[in-house]
Structure 1
Amino acid sequence: MSTTTVDAVVIGAGHNGLVAAAALADAGWDVVVLEAAPEPGGAVRSAELVPGYTSDLFSAFYPLGAASPAMKSLELERHGLRWCRAPAAYGHPRFSADEDAPVVHADVAATAAALSAYDKADGDAWIALFEQWTRIKKPLLDAFLGPFPPVRAGASLARTLGTAETLRFARFMALPARVMAHETFRSSAARCLLLGNAMHGDAPLEAAVSGAMGYLLTMMAQDVGFPVPEGGSSELTAALVRRVGTAEVRCDSEVTRIDVVDGRARSVHTASGDTVRVRRAIIADVSAPILYDTLLPTDAVPPRMRRDLANFEWDTPVVKVNYALDQPIPWCSKSLSQVGTVHLGADDDGLLRWTTDLATGVLPKRPFMLFGQMTTADPTRSPNGTESAWAYTHLPRGIVDDASADTIAERVGDVLEEHAPGFATSIVGQVVQRPSDLSAANSSLYGGAVNGGTAQLHQQLIFRPTPGLGRPETPVEGLFLGSSSAHPGGGVHGAGGMNAARAALRQQGVLGAVRKRVTSSLLELVTR
């Protein structure tokens, strides 16, 4: 047992926590990162589940990591990170025997030409969409990933587009994914390319704003691809650990309590009996329920906020199946042999049925899935002529039992066999990660939820994690939420950690004192 004093403590060495630590260390702060697990990384870790085959245990492809301002500002490539990309970003077969699945090629003209073969208008629409993206991507990503409200980024976006186009673009981003796909494209092929990406979130296809995720990931796929860290996702974490500089990362150091004195966070205590006092700030890279229900004293959380947290909604549980294959996947559509990610199991209408099953508690007979061909993207992942792969799908909300997870894993295999006859015979190793396995590996993945809470509109922006808390600041002075439970939510983009670190830095000095008073008044207004 020991007692130390530092400028800041970061609770959790997930990617958001490490990003926050790097930003504070860059500002000259004395920082300690306390991680409960034996190794850092949170949901950015890899391992050899089958000897000779590297598997990403949680997240895998990182378009947001390659494009987000927070991650780019850290220049991780200077700290050993090497990105790899498959020849094509992703594809989406529309039905089991689809021999001509649409894919997103590295070159925008090639993608547009391929889509023109389905419908000439769709090639033109793709070019127009990407040209718009190249004009607005900086202010748009700043708006989506920066602190809320995005005043400066919003103004920059409006100046770039002009008033009339800004209004049209705002409507476009508010569209349900299904409406966006049908308004933008004519063919089922082009529509599926957008809709499959929309399913990376957990918002139903017909929910307002669900198209925004589809648009962002589709354009980033065309822009930066779906890159992966060479050697496995743990290499991204390793680069972040090197990047934190003078910050100390302590693993096997589970934080059990935050002390609050006179309304300010003063210290943290670990399960091993250590105490770390803080001079300036605590940043929590943990889920909102863990922070407010477990780590803080009851009297430090306003009663209204505690009632709001009772309605906190997690995203749908995940089942992940990791495969070691002794040969490349025998896809019906040869176009899929060159992509890193495949969206399969449902077309336009099938996706609607799948999301309805998830919402109504029905175990899908034909699960829609994200499928990763990791060796295709990064040849270091398995021996030459083999494939390290995974499939990722969801259970209905609230269903987390192992029997249901095993059933879905079997159905995932059936769908893969339909799209790639002979797939099953190439399996030399298979490991299923059930919701119980995910939550046991990382307490922030509660019930197998991987996005820190639902991405639906009622728990985004100013409503994340509860109404009025759209910023990293909390009702406790000097305490900031810097996880995926904070705005802008899930995904490996580092924005949650960076926003929290910058908020902590802004509250220093004379001007910072003014900001603290204003922020405290606003928080009291919405939480008391």
Structure 2
Amino acid sequence: MAGDPDAIVIGSGPNGLVAACMLARAGLRVLVCEANPRRWGGALGSEEATLPGFVHDVGAAFFPFPRISPAFRALELEKHVELCFAEFESCHPAPDGSVACISRDLDVCARNFGDPRDGETFAALARWYRGVEPAVLGILLNTLPTIAPVLKLLPFGIFKLARILLSSGGGLARRLFRGEAARRVMPGLALHVDVGPRDPLGAALGFMLGMTATTGGYSIPRGGAQAMADAMVADLRRHGGEIRLASRVDRILTEGRRAVGVRLADGTELRAARRAVLADTAAASLLLDLVERDLVPRRVVRFMEKFPQGWGTFKVDWALSSPVPWSVPEARRAAVVHAGDSLADLERFTAQVRRGELPDNPYLVVGQQTLADPTRAPAGKHTLWAYSRVPSRPAGGWQAHAQAFADRVDARIEGLAPGFRSTVLARRIVAPPDLEAMDANLVGGDLGGGSNAWHRQLIFRPLFPYFRHRMPVEGLYLCSSYAHPGAGVHGMCGYNAAHVALRDLG
């Protein structure tokens, strides 16, 4: 890029790449600085992590948003990434043989959601959601405040939505469903982040993940999640933007109280001609480490020093000689299997993690990418991907616990799929410190951009009054999942931040 860029984006996770693409499409010359020396994408990537020929997603793996997110639709991402789907999006088995499944075909869903009455209830809810999804996504994903989408739900839809979103996950499940198989589904989905079944106003995330599974589906990018990051970088380059690997930013350059560029760890200074710097970083890292402290209000500094991170994440990758031999046949046809035995089991799991204990019956999110995308493994072989939520720093440290907890994860799957261990060719353990080493935004293995409790959302994300992406330093914008609308690979944090920056630049 000859001359200074107009805008600089720090970090090339999905939100940083979306922000960069939107700025470039608006005619700005954009430079993305990425610390990783080997690849872009942050936690959106893939690599041969166990054995040659076995491609594993390093972080995010299943995507409901490529077809329905305004950000990805603006980039026409689906034209450039081949999406694969399994027969079932999500399967929720238990040791007692009960099972509930989510499918994009609502008739199939109704027949496979535990009790037939519960199946009809879930399918009816999903049909209602399909009719209001654009308005609901407009309310939950766009830059606040979002008045127009609210008006589209009047007079009755907004009250139905509010009654759902103002519930706890367990409370909503008990109100809607009769059987335990159905009741564990949405509270289990909410445990993708740090939201337990009893948490006030905790139903929103599980409800949205359940509903978007029936619309966008849990898509699997052919070849690996890296394909999504590669497609966004290609779009950036088509519109004149550039990306630099091995370019860790260690300081925001300022003049007066305005951001004017960045300094890299090797001392290189890069100026932004239009004086716009967008940070796809952790909020605390941005405002405590990258910006001079005297430019940040003291109450903001105090808050960032005790920033409420979410739980840690413990991930395991396996290379398998054959598919997982699940006891329930539905699980053998599902993109994702969620291991949570009951509401009581999920509540107990939540309490253990919050006490700083390693759970003895870990809730698992298990990904079976090669069922839909066989290109990720040698012929006849399979990959498997799973994570559980854990304390970021257990007593004694992860070096003392990682192998034993991975064995506990293996045993959990073995209990639902007798013979699983005999299929394992290789195993890789990724504990919370390993995730943070891979991507500095995953502080303590937190994959949700900080806590996703109700009081850390909307105007409180990352903190009031900085919920509209503008930071205390003029020309500096937070575009990561630490900003509204938070966790998930939807690109909307970057999309919204780019639009705010473009408005400010006139």
TM-score normalised by length of structure 2: 0.96
Residue 44 of structure 2 corresponds to which residue in structure 1?
A: 44
Q: Secondary structure at the match of 1:129?
A: helix
Task: Quote how far apart the aligned CAs of 1:397 are.
Answer: 4.9
Task: Quote how far apart the aligned CAs of 1:436 are.
Answer: 1.3
Report the AA paired with residue 279 of structure 1. Answer: A
Report the AA paired with residue 170 of structure 1. Answer: A
Residue 206 of structure 1 corresponds to which residue in structure 2?
A: 198
Task: Write the deviation string for residues 261-318 of structure 1: whole angstroms up to 9, x where unpaired.
Answer: 1211112111122211113211000110111011101111111111121231111111
Residue 515 of structure 1 corresponds to which residue in structure 2?
A: none
Task: Quote how far apart the aligned CAs of 1:65 are.
Answer: 3.6
* Distance in 2 of aligned mates of 1:58 and 1:362: 23
Backbone CA RMSD of aligned residues: 1.6
- Pick one of 266, 288, 311 that aligns with 1:293: 288
- Pick one of 106, 109, 128 that aligns with 2:107: 109
Residue 260 of structure 1 corresponds to which residue in structure 2?
A: 254
* Distance in 1 of aligned mates of 2:314 and 2:392: 12
Residue 5 of structure 1 corresponds to which residue in structure 2?
A: 4
Are 2:65 and 2:216, in contact at CA under 8 Å, matched by a contact in 1?
no
Task: Quote how far apart the aligned CAs of 1:151 are.
Answer: 2.0
| Higher deviation after alignment, 22-31 or 59-68 | 59-68
Task: Quote how far apart the aligned CAs of 1:127 are.
Answer: 2.5
Residue 83 of structure 1 corresponds to which residue in structure 2?
A: 83
1:320 equivalent in alignment to 2:315: yes
Write the mapping of 1:52-91 to structure 2, written as runs, cut at 5 A. Answer: 52-78=53-79, 80-91=80-91
- Pick one of 125, 144, 151 that aligns with 2:147: 151
TM-score normalised by length of structure 1: 0.92
Write the mapping of 1:476-495 to structure 2, written as runs, cut at 5 A. Answer: 476-495=473-492
1:135 equivalent in alignment to 2:131: yes
Residue 522 of structure 1 corresponds to which residue in structure 2?
A: none
Gap change, CA 1:329 and 1:455, over 3 Å in 2: same
Are 2:33 and 2:244, in contact at CA under 8 Å, matched by a contact in 1?
yes
* Distance in 2 of aligned mates of 1:260 and 1:155: 41
Residue 525 of structure 1 corresponds to which residue in structure 2?
A: none
Q: Secondary structure at the match of 1:323?
A: strand
Report the AA paired with residue 411 of structure 1. Answer: R
Residue 160 of structure 2 corresponds to which residue in structure 1?
A: 168
* Distance in 1 of aligned mates of 2:78 and 2:435: 29
* Distance in 1 of aligned mates of 2:444 and 2:120: 43
Residue 354 of structure 2 corresponds to which residue in structure 1?
A: 359
Gap change, CA 1:380 and 1:500, over 3 Å in 2: same
- Pick one of 407, 411, 420 that aligns with 1:410: 407
* Distance in 2 of aligned mates of 1:369 and 1:171: 28
Task: Quote how far apart the aligned CAs of 1:101 are.
Answer: 2.0
- Pick one of 324, 327, 346 that aligns with 1:329: 324
- Pick one of 115, 119, 122 that aligns with 2:115: 119
Task: Quote how far apart the aligned CAs of 1:345 are.
Answer: 4.1
1:375 equivalent in alignment to 2:361: no
* Distance in 1 of aligned mates of 2:484 and 2:270: 27
Gap change, CA 1:165 and 1:21, over 3 Å in 2: closer
| Higher deviation after alignment, 188-197 or 367-376 | 188-197
Segments of 4+ moved more than 6 angstroms: none
Task: Write the deviation string for residues 334-379 of structure 1: whole angstroms up to 9, x where unpaired.
Answer: 1110001000143221001000101112221110110011101211
* Distance in 2 of aligned mates of 1:62 and 1:93: 21
Task: Quote how far apart the aligned CAs of 1:73 are.
Answer: 1.3
* Distance in 2 of aligned mates of 1:140 and 1:450: 24
Are 1:260 and 1:300, in contact at CA under 8 Å, matched by a contact in 2?
no
1:435 equivalent in alignment to 2:427: no
Report the AA paired with residue 291 of structure 1. Answer: L
Are 2:15 and 2:479, in contact at CA under 8 Å, matched by a contact in 1?
yes
* Distance in 1 of aligned mates of 2:56 and 2:434: 15
Task: Write the deviation string for residues 30-53 of structure 1: whole angstroms up to 9, x where unpaired.
Answer: 111111111210000101112111
Where structure 1 has 5 or more consecutive residues not aligned to the other structure, the ranges are 510-528
Q: Secondary structure at the match of 2:99?
A: coil
| Higher deviation after alignment, 489-498 or 339-348 | 339-348
Where structure 2 has 5 or more consecutive residues not aligned to the other structure, the ranges are none
Q: Secondary structure at the match of 1:480?
A: strand
* Distance in 2 of aligned mates of 1:223 and 1:77: 15
* Distance in 2 of aligned mates of 1:397 and 1:183: 33
* Distance in 2 of aligned mates of 1:347 and 1:107: 25
Task: Quote how far apart the aligned CAs of 1:406 are.
Answer: 2.7
Q: Secondary structure at the match of 1:148?
A: coil
Are 1:4 and 1:275, in contact at CA under 8 Å, matched by a contact in 2?
no
Query: Percent identity between the aligned chains?
Result: 37
Q: Secondary structure at the match of 2:259?
A: strand
Residue 521 of structure 1 corresponds to which residue in structure 2?
A: none
* Distance in 2 of aligned mates of 1:214 and 1:379: 29
Task: Quote how far apart the aligned CAs of 1:490 are.
Answer: 1.4
- Pick one of 273, 276, 293 that aligns with 2:267: 273
* Distance in 2 of aligned mates of 1:250 and 1:305: 31
Task: Quote how far apart the aligned CAs of 1:390 are.
Answer: 1.2
Gap change, CA 1:471 and 1:406, over 3 Å in 2: farther
* Distance in 1 of aligned mates of 2:496 and 2:195: 24
Task: Quote how far apart the aligned CAs of 1:423 are.
Answer: 0.4
Gap change, CA 1:493 and 1:404, over 3 Å in 2: same
Q: Secondary structure at the match of 2:35?
A: coil
Task: Quote how far apart the aligned CAs of 1:3 are.
Answer: 10
Are 2:86 and 2:334, in contact at CA under 8 Å, matched by a contact in 1?
yes
Task: Quote how far apart the aligned CAs of 1:224 are.
Answer: 2.0
Are 1:3 and 1:276, in contact at CA under 8 Å, matched by a contact in 2?
no
Residue 93 of structure 1 corresponds to which residue in structure 2?
A: 93
* Distance in 1 of aligned mates of 2:17 and 2:281: 12
1:236 equivalent in alignment to 2:228: yes
Report the AA paired with residue 429 of structure 1. Answer: A
1:225 equivalent in alignment to 2:227: no
* Distance in 2 of aligned mates of 1:321 and 1:288: 27
Q: Secondary structure at the match of 2:112?
A: helix
| Higher deviation after alignment, 336-345 or 59-68 | 59-68
* Distance in 2 of aligned mates of 1:56 and 1:462: 32
Residue 473 of structure 1 corresponds to which residue in structure 2?
A: 470
Report the AA paired with residue 99 of structure 2. Answer: A
* Distance in 1 of aligned mates of 2:204 and 2:456: 15
| Higher deviation after alignment, 385-394 or 189-198 | 189-198
Are 2:196 and 2:346, in contact at CA under 8 Å, matched by a contact in 1?
no
Report the AA paired with residue 261 of structure 2. Answer: S
* Distance in 2 of aligned mates of 1:286 and 1:66: 26
* Distance in 2 of aligned mates of 1:317 and 1:65: 26
Residue 512 of structure 1 corresponds to which residue in structure 2?
A: none
